[in-house]
Structure 1
Amino acid sequence: MIWVVAILLLIVLDEWLGRRRKRHAPKKEYPLRQSNITLFTNGQHLFADYFLEIKKATHHIHVLFYIVKTDDISQQFFFFLQQKAKEGVEVRLLVDWVGGFRLSRKTIRSLKESGVRFAFSQKPSFPYFFYQLNRRNHRKITVIDGKIGYIGGFNIGKEYIGQDTDFGDWRDYHLKINGEGVMDLQTQFLTDWKAATAEVLQQETRYFPELPRGTIVHRFIATNGNGLEEDFAHLIRQAKREIIIGSPYFIPSKKVMKALIDALKHGVAVTILVPLKADHPLVKEAALPYFYRLLKHGAHIYRFYQGFYHAKTIIIDDDVCDIGTANFDKRSFFLNGEMNCFIYDRAFTQQMKHVIRYELSRSERLTLDWWKKRSVWERGKESISALLERWL
């Protein structure tokens, strides 16, 4: 018991000192761009398109994922990257150190032998090992030939294409970018690649071809444990009629929670969509105290029950739609590296509202009556989750 207590104290001290002494990379707010944007909500459709574009690559393929597994879809992914590397295409694969923990040395060696340049992002080191272990690169970025980009919530694994029986239909949102915005995805990938490998490529013009201007105005924002809280609070404060939030985890900060309640008090309709199932311990329970306060002020909260809802979106009136990698939780606000796309286009916003209506048709509405009838076991898990919510 003494050893257990000592280790726990060491972890807490390491995390506290790390927060005080380690400096986060600043938030990067990219310029307004115009691109053509395609929305994917189904993993089968996304990866059919994604693999087709990879097979057509002629110059380079840059890929960053939070999670890459070793199942059939992952092996297919590796095969295509290796084939392109053997053809002479530059291939760089960056995977978060924790999200890629299942990748064996044999798999990594095979990738490298075929010509794929592989690196782990956010490898923890001493001092402040546990603090760094808790800060992940949660971005998912792909750039092909500097002309086509992908960003969103999907990772590489069978659950993301609906083949995991524990989760069933996996709902997520991913964007395909054609146009000016690709240069910002490229810049962010090369920034993360430099942080992981010390290789400096941001000034290499061969990765930044001339790009056409698309029809949809948007802006990318990359955060590293700072800045996202204020961005989300600012979005919420802009709302005049309606706020829609979709997220697999709902653990907002005080500032963001206050913005939501203020919006409700001013007559703004607030709809929140989360999964009924949980893919991590205690995350579902951690949301319930926040749901209670919002329900009391008239929010509409739904839990998706036909599969797993992993999408990340915020819709404000008919004016702004945010889709990206950030969850609506403290981990994304204060710890992880994230990248979000703020889209300023009424037609795209209407398309997203149509998608949300479909998700709500397969969801159950949460009520105050249900919350009051929670079991003792559920209340106990809530209490534990409240102590750990910053790291959930």
Structure 2
Amino acid sequence: MVVIAVIAIIFVLIYLDDKLGQLSFRNGRKKVVYPERRSDIALYVNGRHLFADYFAELHRARDHIHILFYIIKSDETTTPFFQILKEKAAEGVKVRVLVDWVGSLGLPKALIRSLRASGVEFAYTRPPCFPFLIYRLNRRNHRKITVIDGRIGYIGGYNIGREYNGKDANFGEWRDYHLKISGEGVYDLQEQFLHDWEEATSKTVADKHRYFPELPAGAIRHQLVATDGSALEEQYIHAIRHAKKEIMIGTPYFIPSRPLFNELMRALKRGVRVTVLVPLKADHLFVREAAYPYFYRMLKAGARVYRFYQGFYHAKTIVIDEEWCDVGTANFDRRSLFLNGEINCYVFDRAFTRLVKQAIERDLTRSEPLTLDFWRNRSLLDRGKESISQLISAWL
């Protein structure tokens, strides 16, 4: 009885921490909608190609390198990455690295000390603290931003580590979508990085004008949107509401809010073709099962749901009517909607949107369709996980 009482008290304290934390942070949640810009944008869907280009651009840096990732690993893929940063700092390049405390908790302290000793400025974003410890642990900075000399920027789903380079046998090929931006949009990536850096370090960055060179307009019209646990739901609802023919969603985690899911169902009812692509294997407990109840209703309404089997699918993208697409860091789940700091790039360009759609269609050829028969015949274990997942879906 004592053990049960202790467990009950712990759960009550966690519940109170979460609810009071939500109330406390409600007014502090914000969105930043940057102006519409024009940039040249390249799409990367393969980690090897992305990192080859990324490391080459880091080598070419002459003034500064600003990096924010949710996860940076310490392995054979990141060893040359850290070496580049140390070399550039030794050359006099200003190098700042910001990582999420939870996401990059495994970074060795000796590595961090060596970076700092080389002149690299390193900081954690959102370390846990009181009050509302549990709630704060759940509010992660999930953004992935790199800015090089204020002229080249990267944003998307890739973190840095061996699995993202396709070298982890447990995952195989890591499928993700990442953007390289040159042009006006880099200004906004820089603005967001500096905001996150100052928030994490409580220090004002001096001589800011050096980080904002004059930038040329590119060919592709787009807009960057940074969210922090609010506004993303309504933006997605607005986009889905205006779909006329087709909606394609690629995401590793499909756990939408009720209003967002209802909007998808309304789109199906008015004849919009809805396709969802998710991974076959899961990288976290219960996330796959949490999607099943939504998929069941969508399949009955005529949606197509596919599960990527050739590796792990981690892309975060939406394509609507070959006119608008979204590539960024936000998953199609409640954590990205209501907890995490995210940044997405909305592209208003038919040619680039078709390029993203073609990437999704290629991935569909390496995916299996989810059927109602499969859902009806899933195992008792899967049914049990599904029940548990519904209870904790807000935290998955």
- TM-score norm. by structure 1 comes to 0.99
Q: Which moved more, 1:278-287 or 1:346-355?
A: 346-355
Secondary structure of the corresponding residue to residue 362 of structure 2: helix
Matched, 1:268 2:272: yes
1:17 aligns with 2:17: no
Which amino acid in the other structure matches residue 15 of structure 1?
A: D
Q: Which residue of 2 aligns with 1:44?
A: 48
Which among 129, 139, 147 is matched to residue 143 of structure 2?
139
Deviations 1:172-213 (Å, cap 9, x if unpaired)?
000000000000000000000011011223871100000010
Please state if 1:359 is matched with 2:338: no
Determine if the alignment matches structure 1 residue 3 to structure 2 residue 6: yes
Aligned residues: 392
- Partners of 1:24 and 1:226 within 8 A in 2: no
Give the equivalent residue in structure 1 for 2:210: 206
The offset of 1:53, in angstroms, is 0.3
How far residue 262 of structure 1 moved from its aligned partner, in angstroms, is: 0.4
Find the partner of 1:65 among 50, 64, 69. Answer: 69
- AA aligned opposite 2:21: G
Q: 1:294 aligns with which of 291, 298, 315?
A: 298
Distance 2:112 2:12 in 1: 35
Distance 2:257 2:11 in 1: 25
Unaligned ranges ≥5, structure 2: none
| Alignment-mate amino acid for residue 119 of structure 1 | A
Letter matched to residue 11 of structure 2: L
Structure 1 segment 163-182 matched on structure 2, within 5 A:
163-182=167-186
What SS class does the counterpart of residue 130 from structure 2 fall into?
coil
Task: Work out whether 1:369 is the aligned partner of 2:364.
Answer: no
Deviation at 1:24, TM superposition (A): 3.1
Deviations 1:327-366 (A, max 9, x none): 0000000000000000011110111111111100000001
Tell me the residue number matched to 2:281. 277
Give 1:7 deviation, angstroms. Answer: 2.2
Question: Once the two structures are superposed, what CA deviation does each residue of 1:124-154 show, in whole Å capped at 9, x if it has no partner?
Answer: 2111111100110000000000000000000
Residues in 2 aligned to 1:203 and 1:29: alpha-carbon distance in whole angstroms: 24
Deviation at 1:91, TM superposition (A): 0.2
Within 2, Cα distance between the matches of 1:189 and 1:3? 43
Measured in 2, the distance between the counterparts of 1:4 and 1:376 equals: 27
- Taking structure 1 as reference, are residues 20 and 43 closer, same or farther at Cα in structure 2, changes over 3 Å only? same
One-letter code aligned to 1:64: L
**Residue in 2 aligned with 1:251?**
255
Contact persistence 2:144–2:158 (CA under 8 A): yes
Q: Deviations over 1:27-58 (max 9, x none)?
A: 00000000000000000000000000000000
1:44 alignment partner, SS class: helix
3-state SS of 1:164 partner: coil
1:306 paired residue among 304, 310, 313: 310
Alpha carbons of structure 1 residues 37 and 202: separation in structure 2 relative to 1, 3 Å: farther
Contact 1:153–1:324 under 8 Å retained in 2: yes
Residue 155 of structure 2 corresponds to which residue in structure 1?
A: 151
- Contact kept in structure 1, 2:322 and 2:357, CA below 8 Å: no
Matched residue type, 1:352: V
| Matched letter for residue 287 of structure 1 | A
Matched residues in 2 for 1:185 and 1:25: separation? 19
CA contact (8 A) 2:139 2:340 kept: yes
Paired AA for residue 20 in structure 1: L
The within-5 A match list for 1:175-190 is 175-190=179-194
1:81 aligns with 2:93: no
Task: Could you list the structure 1 runs, at least 4 aligned residues long, displaced by more than 6 angstroms after superposition.
Answer: none
Counterpart in the other structure of 1:123: 127
User: What secondary structure sits across from 1:173 in the alignment?
Assistant: strand
- For the 8 Å contact 2:125–2:141, the answer to whether it is kept is yes
Q: Residue 72 of structure 1: SS of its match in structure 2?
A: coil
Deviation at 1:4, TM superposition (A): 2.8
Per-residue CA distance 1:238-270 (angstroms, 9 max, x = gap): 100000000000000111101100000000000
Does the residue aligned with 2:77 lie in a helix, a strand or coil?
helix
Letter in 2 for 1:137: N
Per the alignment, residue 56 of structure 1 pairs with 60
Helix, strand or coil: the match of 1:240? Answer: coil
Q: What letter matches 1:339 in structure 2? A: I
- Stretches of structure 1 lacking an aligned partner (at least 5 in a row): none
Q: Is 1:382 paired with 2:386?
A: yes
Calculate percent identity across the aligned residue pairs.
60
8 Å Cα contact 1:190-1:202 kept in structure 2: no
Task: Give CA deviations for 1:83-108 in whole Å, capped at 9, x if unaligned.
Answer: 10011100000000001100121111
Taking structure 2 as the reference length, the TM-score comes to 0.98
